[in-house]
Amino acid sequence: MDLRQIRFGIEVETVQRSRREVACAIQSVVGGTVTHAAGPACYDPWEVTDLRGRVWKVMADASLVNVPRNLQAEVVSPVLQYDDLDQLQEVVRAVRRAGATVDSTCGIHIHVDAAPFDGRRLANPAKQVYKQEPLILHALGVSQSRQARYTRPVEDELIRRIEASRPTTTDELNRLWYGYHNTNPTHYDSTRYHGVNLHNVWFRGTVEFRYFESTLHAGKIKAYIQFCLAIAAKALTARAASSKKRAFSATSAKYDFRCWLLRLGLIGDEFKTARLHLMANMPGSAAWKNGRPEAVAAANA
């Protein structure tokens, strides 16, 4: 499956502007109507029903502890298609122009439609990410506090169970994920707080990626979405996925990460900006695995 065929959604946490102000900013791009929804009261949601009938939500989030509750605003998109990326970027820019900002408590969660996956293919993104996680955490600048709580790394034990059992159905993977057959998953199940959250497969029908520190930079958000879609597309088309964890090397990190992005299909001019943003934090050379050879450097001096 091509990454452009996969449906997705996104949650972007912001602070310093009210939910009404953020909702009005969204409405300025997507049109439609803004309403203050009746509930649930714990989220105090505002909703924007756009001109296509899709609902964008702006909700309170108790994890945004650095501001009063009235200045917590988590933007929750409707189900989106790849062609919606341009409009989503305009939504992000409008929210930023309205004065919303992000701080260290804010994150971004990207949801990928789980409908095309069976048990084997659902195991693939966990295995792919587990292998490359040292690179991912560095590239995305995931803080230690976020890794300890809201974005825990993929667990060694989960990968061992997957490799031992080789699940082929979602029920088999369910047992491996929870440790038992969970037929009634709840919203705040503790297993959800991982960089790759498969709990959401059974609660909401999505694979959730939680690695991202929040930003209102529209280009970075587009890059993050393309990255998640590429992982999902690779998981769907690969016959198998290796889970042998890659060691992090500061000398080769940028080269290694670039090679993985290319293997994921993020090749060519369409994804040039995505590669730029995703590799910006990586040490080393994108072109030379062991650093630029001294002879080449001297010749170009």
| pLDDT (0 to 100) of residue 242 | 86
Token duo for residue 85: 């990326």
Beta carbons within 10 angstroms of residue 24's beta carbon? 18
Placement of tokens 């059974």 in the chain:
202
CA dihedral 15, 19, 20, 22 (to 10 degrees): 50
Give the three-state DSSP class for 131. Answer: helix
Q: Mean pLDDT throughout 138-158?
A: 96
Give the sheet arrangement for strand 107-113, strand by strand: 33-36, 46-49, 55-59, 72-76, 8-15, 107-113, 206-213, 196-197
What contacts 168, CB < 8 A, 6 or more positions away? 118, 119, 120
Q: How far is CA 167 from CA 122, 173, 175, 195, in A?
A: 9, 6, 10, 21
Domain assignment present for residue 154? The answer is yes
Q: Mean pLDDT throughout 128-150?
A: 96
Domain of residue 246, residue span: 118-190+218-294
Domain assignment present for residue 111? The answer is no
Domain assignment present for residue 272? The answer is yes
| pLDDT (0 to 100) of residue 111 | 98
Domain assignment present for residue 20? The answer is no
pLDDT tens, residue by residue, 53-63: 999 999 999 99
Q: Is the pLDDT of residue 297 over 70?
A: no
Interhelix angle for 170-178 vs 119-139, to 10°? 50
Q: Which of 69-83, 108-122, 232-246, 283-297 has the lowest mean pLDDT?
A: 283-297
Q: How confident is the model at residue 231 (pLDDT cuts 50, 70, 90)?
A: very high
Q: Is the pLDDT of residue 227 over 90?
A: yes
Q: Is the pLDDT of residue 295 over 80?
A: no
Q: What's the CA gap between 230 and 301, in Å, rounded? A: 38
Q: How confident is the model at residue 51 (pLDDT cuts 50, 70, 90)?
A: very high
Count the domains in the chain. 1
What contacts 70, CB < 8 A, 6 or more positions away? 18, 19
Residue closest to 118 by CA, chosen among 169, 159, 78: 169
| pLDDT (0 to 100) of residue 77 | 98
Domain assignment present for residue 31? The answer is no
Domain assignment present for residue 8? The answer is no
pLDDT tens, residue by residue, 78-118: 999 999 999 999 999 999 999 999 999 999 999 999 999 99
Asked if 138 and 248 touch (Cβ cutoff 8 Å), the reply is yes
Domain assignment present for residue 179? The answer is yes
Domain assignment present for residue 257? The answer is yes
| pLDDT (0 to 100) of residue 173 | 97
| pLDDT (0 to 100) of residue 225 | 98
